[in-house]
Amino acid sequence: MADKNDAAAGHGAAAKNGKAKTAARDGPSRLARKVYEKELYRLQGELMKVQEWVRAEGARIVVIFEGRDAAGKGSTIKRVSQYLNPRVVRIAALPAPTERERGEWYFQRYVGHLPTAGEVVLFDRSWYNRAGVEHVMGFCTKEEYHRFLHQCPIFERLLVEDGVLLRKYWFSVSDEEQEHRFRSRLHDPMRQWKLSPMDLESITRWEDYSRAKDEMFVHTDIPEAPWYVVESEDKRRARINMISHLLSTVPYHEVQRVPLKLPPRPPPQGYIRVPRDMQTYVPDHAASLIR
């Protein structure tokens, strides 16, 4: 009887602990969807003003998104760029370097993605790969790693001195929340592409990545281009906080645009549309959904 009671008590404690972990993961003040969506839309309206200011002033902005795997970088970039003109605001998500690129100066391939006047570039991971995954996984030598830590602040100071507005965000997430997000992707066919063996190995190398991040901050958290840490246990809160902070650091103002007006349609000039049976149309699959 005692064993049965102990087992029941243990099961109850485990369930209670599981609820506590869920509560900790969600946070006591998780941002409500309605509040989040309203504020996000307002901030996205301000980002539109930034875009027009960048075009009018010929400004150059670089925003770097770094952090743990599954920390929410990609989803935040989507919300930043959602309504913006892709000809003005570009996303740079570079793949693994080619053989030729491996023989170049490390920063060389990133220079080609920097903005010209009137552009914004959002780096979904950046040159900081060398201080993170390349260093932890042994994809670069110790000499290359230490050279990066020495050259990176110099490189970034050159960008800032030339007028580039450089903003660097580190998305911070707990090991428990990261694992929770990984597990949710494992069984979601729409998001399985977000997982790779490299991502999963980050679980077993959690402390190695933590040490690498701390060392990176020591060398590259400089006054000219400081790191800003975004707490991302709650993705909604992280997106709102990051965008709000970015807006507060850019000296933009609203640019008056010339109002547009639709011209009147001219009267018909005798054009006759080609018969439908002379062209190949996409089948109306939607019709089968209407019952």
pLDDT digits (tens, 9 = 90+) for 180-235: 888 888 888 888 777 777 777 778 898 999 999 999 999 999 999 999 999 999 99
Residue 25 has pLDDT above 60, yes or no: no
pLDDT of residue 200: 76
pTM equals 0.85
**For 135-143, what is the mean pLDDT?**
96
pLDDT confidence tier of residue 178, bands split at 50, 70 and 90: confident
Options 3.40.50.300, 1.10.1520.10, 1.10.10.10, 3.40.50.720; CATH for 53-249 is 3.40.50.300
Burial bucket for residue 255 (CB in 10 Å: 0-12, 13-18, 19+): middle
pLDDT of residue 141: 97
pLDDT confidence tier of residue 12, bands split at 50, 70 and 90: very low
**Structural contact between residues 90 and 121, judged by C-beta atoms closer than 8 angstroms:** yes
Kindly give the interhelix angle for 33-57 and 235-249, rounded to the nearest 10 degrees: 30
Least confident of 123-127, 168-172, 284-288: 284-288
**For 92-106, what is the mean pLDDT?**
95
**Structural contact between residues 127 and 152, judged by C-beta atoms closer than 8 angstroms:** yes
68-106 burial, b for 16+ CB within 10 Å, e for fewer?
Answer: bbbbbbebbbebbbeebeeebbbbbebeebeeeeeeeeb
Rounded to whole angstroms, the Cα distance separating 199 from 68 reads: 9
Average pLDDT, the chain: 89
pLDDT digits (tens, 9 = 90+) for 31-77: 999 999 999 999 999 999 999 999 999 999 999 999 988 899 999 99
pLDDT of residue 133: 94
Q: Which two tokens stand for residue 45?
A: 């309206």
Quote the percentage of the chain above a pLDDT of 90: 76
CA nearest 88: which of 122, 112, 65, 111? 122
pLDDT of residue 7: 43
CA distances from 108 to 66, 155, 160, 176, 222 (A): 19, 11, 17, 37, 21
pLDDT digits (tens, 9 = 90+) for 226-259: 999 999 999 999 999 999 999 999 999 999 988 9
Residue 9 has pLDDT above 80, yes or no: no
